[in-house]
Amino acid sequence: MADITDIKSIIYTEKTIELQEHGVIVVQTSPRMTKNGLKEVFKEYFGVTPKKVNSLRQNGKVKRFRGKLGSRPDFKKFYVTLPEGAVIANLSA
């Protein structure tokens, strides 16, 4: 069962802000989130049924810290296409 706590953040970059003008929101979530789970969260918490959801899984980068290898956490990124005229109220850059 998906929950709002699985959504880590909405990603704001030059590319994603341009996509938002066309009704696409980019969301970073935990790796266990699914497309159907994300649709349920959008329906329940935002009152909007997404028209389309695309996903990709990103592995965490391997980094060195004081000579030792470590890695950043893995995450999923979703591109959520909203229907025409749909607006999420608390979405601001």
Residue identified by tokens 């994603």 is 16
Domain hosting 50: range is 4-62+74-79
13 lies in some domain: yes
Q: Is there a domain that residue 85 lies in?
A: no
- Give the mean pLDDT of 21-47: 92
CA dihedral (19, 51, 90, 4) in degrees, to 10, reads -110
For a pLDDT cut of 70, what percent of the chain falls above it? 94
Tell me the per-residue pLDDT of 40-63, one tens digit each, with 9 for 90 and over. 999 998 888 999 999 999 999 999
> What's the total number of domains in the chain?
1
pLDDT at 91: 60
* CATH number of the domain that residue 36 is part of: 3.30.70.330
57-84: average pLDDT: 94
